[in-house]
Amino acid sequence: MQTKTKLFSFLLALVLLISFEPLLADAAPSFTTPAYTVYIGENDYLYIIDNATGSSRVLPTAVNDILSVTDTSVYCLANGGSLYNVYLDGSGSSSIAVMPTQEQLDEYSVKPSFRISDEGELFYITPEGEISIASRFVINAVHDQDTLYYAELTQAGIVFMAYPLNALTGSASVPPVAREIGPALMMPVSLFASDNNLIALDGKGNAVIYNLETLMARLVILPEDTVSVVIINDIIISYRMDPDTGSFHYSKSMDSAMPTPTPTPTATPAATPYITPPPTAAPPSDVGVGYTPVKFGQNGSLVRNMQNRLRRLGYPLTSVDGVFGQNTLRCLHLFQEQSGYTESNTASANLLDLMYSSRASRFNLHKARRTGQRGERVVMLQERLIELFYTQVGQPDGIYGSKTAAAVSAFQKSAGLKVTGNADTDTMKALYASNAPANPTATPTPTSGPTQAPTPTPTGAPTGGPTDDPSTTPTETPTATPEETSPPPPTDSPPPTINIWPLKLGDIGDEVKSLNNALIKLTLLSNDFINTTTFSAETKIAVEAYQTSVSPSNVTGQVLKDLYDEILIEANKV
């Protein structure tokens, strides 16, 4: 029994590592309140449906994402980046900021109502404080107005549960009881509750839709890059996220298992222009999210917790030591940039709430960079170029200027890629590959050692005195002229070799393919990765799982030659 418990705990830890693959940052493409349904629709316009009458209105301005919805307003970002307040009563809208600061974005963003700890414990945040859900093995969660839905790992597998929020009151004498919805048909990377349906998305375009009345489930195949799914008036609406702009893009599809949809009312643009005086409605209050900000230079358990979380999310943290030093700061900056925050030396309460949630962004080593951008990720790009002798980049200053563009262009030419000077995804993958080409024109030529001056042979002291007979001419001994030797022809210096060890996140090649296949045989990696040549985040998680089973104190996620041979040998025994 104890062995089964240990195995279950190990599987839970592995599932939690895999399941924290975030799809959304700090915004959403749709919101539902008791009175209204708000979503990004065709042409990326903002649609507002009155749930009571079914009538709809549209904001004829392309919307990037929706930050939050209150009883009176919708706070959203236009595609140009402006922060808007749209009034739900149809009276118009107002511009809050043309270039909003991070503090303004935090102020008007939805405040989370639950969080999942690294150990899988689910907390629902109420005005009275945090109330712990009975289950401590939760993978993912979502809620609507009155119910919290979550995926729970049990001995029998993953099941979906529903927990009534209206029973969470301080006066409740009997704790509410969760009811089971049904077994999960896949690993739920994200959950969405919409129009009396619970929708589970696996991150590869497969969505399972549970009807919360009949508890019947059906599978719907959506585009692979789908990051969010909602159902509005029996129409499935899916969204993908533009990796460059971070904006949502809309598409809709019909499912044959669904009833005939009610025709969507024709959206009528508001007659008045959407530039009116500043909002009078009070913005959402900044309810405390229960985290204490962590600052650069700080030491202690708060730092250690943050380091553990960043490492779980795949950020290149060298050690978990409770010391907020330069390496931890780099990882924090990378997380801030990838989550849409401004890089700073402090992890704010809101940022930590995002970091510890299932929406937290895993590290993407191959995220594209382009001229004009700044930050820690540009520093890493510059450092990698210097490693490969593309010294045109100059000093790594975190500014993607003309020098960095020139170095990237030189690398693209060496790698046989389209030369643009911008580090797109293909360029980043090639740059961090184990066989990334070094700069052939910057091969250091070995300098010859200093030529040692010949040691002069001392002339012997004369043994005879002066010749008495001055007429006698001494025989002149000819000085031997040393034979002139030509210097050896210079040899071509071989290009520097890039050692593939250790294999690490982002590497590609046959060694990685053999490693992935071995991890599959050891049941540490999904069959989806058979014969893949990329060292993905999933590969790193599988390596960490193997290292944990062998030596918990030496978990790095990287593979040295000895470990590579060991994993292949173990796989051959299976």
What per-residue confidence (pLDDT) applies to 175? 60
Lowest mean pLDDT among 3-17, 377-391, 410-424, 525-539: 3-17
pLDDT at 317 over 50: yes
* Most confident by average pLDDT, 12-16, 83-87, 409-413, 562-566: 409-413
What's the rounded Cα separation, in Å, for the pair 23 and 25? 7
Mean residue pLDDT of the chain comes to: 74
What per-residue confidence (pLDDT) applies to 407? 93
- Cα–Cα distance list, 56 to 7, 47, 193, 341 (Å): 52, 7, 21, 33
* Most confident by average pLDDT, 60-69, 401-410, 484-493, 528-537: 401-410
Closest CA to 129 of 117, 115, 119: 115
Residue 28 contacts residue 228 (beta carbons within 8 Å): yes
What per-residue confidence (pLDDT) applies to 27? 57
What's the rounded Cα separation, in Å, for the pair 372 and 351? 25
What per-residue confidence (pLDDT) applies to 25? 35
Residue 228 contacts residue 192 (beta carbons within 8 Å): yes
221 token code pair: 């195949």
Tell me which amino acid residue 103 is: E
pLDDT at 448 over 50: no
What per-residue confidence (pLDDT) applies to 29? 83
- HEC secondary structure over 100-148: CCHHHHHHHCCCCCEEECCCCCEEEEECCEEEECCCCCEEEEEECCCEE
Residue 493 contacts residue 445 (beta carbons within 8 Å): yes
pLDDT at 408 over 70: yes
Q: Burial of 86 by CB count in 10 Å (0-12 exposed, 13-18 middle, 19+ buried)?
A: buried
Residues composing the chain: 574
What's the rounded Cα separation, in Å, for the pair 309 and 118? 7
Question: pLDDT per residue over 336-359, tens digit each?
Answer: 988 888 889 999 988 888 888 877
What's the rounded Cα separation, in Å, for the pair 253 and 266? 18
Question: pLDDT per residue over 477-495, tens digit each?
Answer: 444 444 444 444 444 434 4
pLDDT at 14 over 50: no
List Cβ neighbours of 256 (8 Å cut-off, separation of 6 or more): none
Lowest mean pLDDT among 185-199, 221-235, 268-282: 268-282
Closest CA to 414 of 448, 390, 380, 378: 390
Query: DSSP letter at 167?
Result: G
Starting from the edge strand earliest in sequence, which strands make up the sheet with 206-211, in order? 190-194, 197-201, 206-211, 217-221
Angle among Cα 160, 164, 166 to the nearest 5 degrees reads: 160
More confident residue, 529 or 365: 365
More confident residue, 489 or 574: 574
More confident residue, 59 or 459: 59
What per-residue confidence (pLDDT) applies to 401? 92
What's the rounded Cα separation, in Å, for the pair 245 and 250? 14
Q: Give the number of other CB atoms < 10 A from CB of residue 180.
A: 12
Question: pLDDT per residue over 121-178, tens digit each?
Answer: 777 776 566 666 767 788 888 887 778 888 888 777 788 888 887 665 544 455 667 8
For range 86-102, the mean pLDDT: 84
For range 53-61, the mean pLDDT: 80
Closest CA to 112 of 282, 295, 462, 357: 357
Q: How confident is the model at residue 59 (pLDDT cuts 50, 70, 90)?
A: confident
For range 234-261, the mean pLDDT: 64
Question: pLDDT per residue over 17-42, tens digit each?
Answer: 444 333 333 457 888 877 888 888 88
Coil/strand/helix, residue 192: strand
Residue 309 contacts residue 331 (beta carbons within 8 Å): no
What's the rounded Cα separation, in Å, for the pair 440 and 390? 9
For range 225-247, the mean pLDDT: 77
What per-residue confidence (pLDDT) applies to 246? 64
pLDDT at 244 over 70: no
What per-residue confidence (pLDDT) applies to 481? 45
309 token code pair: 């979380």
Tokens 């689910």 belong to which residue? 122
What's the rounded Cα separation, in Å, for the pair 288 and 129? 10
For range 313-333, the mean pLDDT: 88
Q: Burial of 572 by CB count in 10 Å (0-12 exposed, 13-18 middle, 19+ buried)?
A: exposed
Q: How confident is the model at residue 422 (pLDDT cuts 50, 70, 90)?
A: very high
Q: How confident is the model at residue 270 (pLDDT cuts 50, 70, 90)?
A: very low
pLDDT at 365 over 50: yes
What's the rounded Cα separation, in Å, for the pair 194 and 208? 13
Coil/strand/helix, residue 396: coil
Would the pTM of this model clear 0.85, i.e. be above it?
no
What's the rounded Cα separation, in Å, for the pair 139 and 158? 9
Closest CA to 45 of 56, 58, 36: 58
Rounded to 5 degrees, what are φ and ψ at 409?
Answer: -60, -45
For range 463-475, the mean pLDDT: 43
Tell me which amino acid residue 354 is: L
Strand-pair partners of 86:
74, 93
What's the rounded Cα separation, in Å, for the pair 294 and 333? 13
What per-residue confidence (pLDDT) applies to 451? 41
> Percent of the chain having pLDDT more than 70?
73
What per-residue confidence (pLDDT) applies to 56? 80
**Rg for the chain, CA atoms, rounded:** 32
Q: How confident is the model at residue 535 (pLDDT cuts 50, 70, 90)?
A: confident
What per-residue confidence (pLDDT) applies to 492? 41
